[in-house]
Amino acid sequence: MVQSSEKKCMRKLRVYVDSSVIGGAFNTRIAEATKPFWDAFFRGEIVIIASDILADELRNAPQRARDFFDSLSPAQIERVVSTKESEKLAAQYVAENVVTESSLDDCAHIALATLANADVIVSWNLKHMVKRSEEYKKVNAKLGYPQINIQTPDKEMTK
């Protein structure tokens, strides 16, 4: 997690999140592991990058997850929206066989985070996102996009 001993003058970590991190605050299996991430957010150490895809996912989430997200300080949330470029990059991840087309929404998250120059993506989606981090990086490198780390929210995050 972000170390509280970091100097106040440092730029806040910009963290792209998907709905698994929001829901993780309430999931009995991962709530304790997700808590340090949210603690860092509430201490003001990070800014969340939230996309239109996250908004769509939250529409189908349990009410308490929606209420929790709605209660977060808007000053610590940076909004991003899908573009033709992000859609093209997401499709390229599928074309490069990182995942199948059924995981296109996961690819869209990664594309948006890449184009927003997020410092890190956090997700509990191990199968389609976290465990394929290196494959997404290879596609980004091939296409000239920045590298981005994808990890679970319980890992220490650095810029």
How does pLDDT run across 87-104, given as a tens digit for each residue? 999 999 999 999 999 999
Q: Is 97 part of any domain?
A: yes
- Dist CA 122 CA 153 (whole Å): 5
In this prediction, residue 37 carries a pLDDT of 94
Q: Is 79 part of any domain?
A: yes
In this prediction, residue 1 carries a pLDDT of 47
Structural domain total, the chain: 1
In this prediction, residue 2 carries a pLDDT of 44
Q: What is the mean pLDDT of residues 59-72?
A: 94
In this prediction, residue 159 carries a pLDDT of 59
Give the dihedral sign, CA 67/153/86/98.
negative
Per the prediction, the chain carries an average pLDDT of 91
In this prediction, residue 7 carries a pLDDT of 47
Q: Is 1 part of any domain?
A: no
Tens of pLDDT along 2-45? 444 444 456 889 999 999 999 999 998 999 999 999 999 999 99
Q: Is 133 part of any domain?
A: yes
- Which domain range does residue 88 map to? 13-151
Percentage of the chain modeled with pLDDT above 90: 87
**CATH number of residue 76's parent domain:** 3.40.50.1010
Exposed/middle/buried for 18, CB within 10 Å: 0-12, 13-18, 19+? buried
In this prediction, residue 4 carries a pLDDT of 44
